[in-house]
Amino acid sequence: MAVDEKKLKGIVDGIVGLPTLPTVLTNVTKMMQNPRVSAAQVGTVIQSDVSLTAKILKLVNSAFYGFPNRISTVTHAIVILGFNAVRSTAMSVSVFDSFGGGGATEGFDRMDFWKHSIGTAATARILAKKMNMKELEEAFIAGLLHDIGLIILDQFVHAEFVEILKLVKEKDMLIRDAEREVLGGVTHSEIGGWLGRKWNMAPALVEVIENYHSPSTASDNYQLSCIVHVADLLTKALSIGNSGDSRMPLVNKSAWEKINIAMPALPSVLQEVLESAKKSEAFFTMVNK
């Protein structure tokens, strides 16, 4: 179903008070486009934000990464983890600072939502590694933010979001189908894409957020969209958190074939996902403080 651009514009134009990404993160993203930038230069910029620095260091020294020796500076973290891992960590911290608080909406528990999001992120990284992708952190951050539009709906389009959740419960619908009914064809995927553009996220990330439900509609980032699609479904199948509905959507056949998990290997993949999700609880604890 085509998105009603006028309806989408009407929804997003009514959103007031949307948080912005920290200037530090925006500057770091720009700096990293320069292939000659050094770890020390990026570390210096990040360390100008004391709160962000403290949370990054807590996270990289947590069980989530499991390094045996303590990492004491952001520059050291960049050397050990790489630019993209530190940037994705900084992005994650910023998103949690903006939207991590608990909500009281019936049928939508934010803690469960973030557990599902982090579980999807960890699973996306596992799948990306199995597919020999170089940018594992890109897969992680795409998994983390794949449903970010739901938080926007809950926080800024709340009356309609309550109506959506009511439909989900009464008719046992997928949440995106209920969204189309209430919002005139618009879903959390389009809302999430709008947020991504507002925050100047990488075009690849925006495209995945908008298209992971139907990966074949992604043009330049089909593989990453397939990874997040399958990661989302595996996380749902294992009941890791909850993203607003309990129905299990059908897997996209071409996405499953692209990921190419042989059925005999599936149990071991699911076990790896469960173990990674357990480790990701440390991630949730660190960035949600």
Q: What is the pLDDT of residue 212?
A: 95
SS3 sequence, the chain? CCCCHHHHHHHHHCCCCCCCCCHHHHHHHHHCCCCCCCHHHHHHHHCCCHHHHHHHHHHHCCCCCCCCCCCCCHHHHHHHHCHHHHHHHHHHHHHHHHHCCCCCCCCCCHHHHHHHHHHHHHHHHHHHHHCCCCCHHHHHHHHHCCCHHHHHHHHHCHHHHHHHHHHHHHHCCCHHHHHHHHHCCCCHHHHHHHHHHHCCCCHHHHHHHHHCCCHHHCCCCHHHHHHHHHHHHHHHHCCCCCCCCCCCCCCCHHHHHHHCCCHHHHHHHHHHHHHHHHHHHHHHHHHCC
What are the tens digits of pLDDT across the range 76-102? 988 888 888 888 778 888 888 778 665
Q: Which residues of the chain have pLDDT under 50?
A: 1-2
What are the tens digits of pLDDT across the range 126-147? 999 999 998 888 899 899 999 9
Domains and CATH numbers, the chain: 5-19+102-287 (1.10.3210.10)
Q: What is the pLDDT of residue 1?
A: 42
**Is the pTM here over 0.85, yes or no?**
yes
Q: What is the pLDDT of residue 283?
A: 67
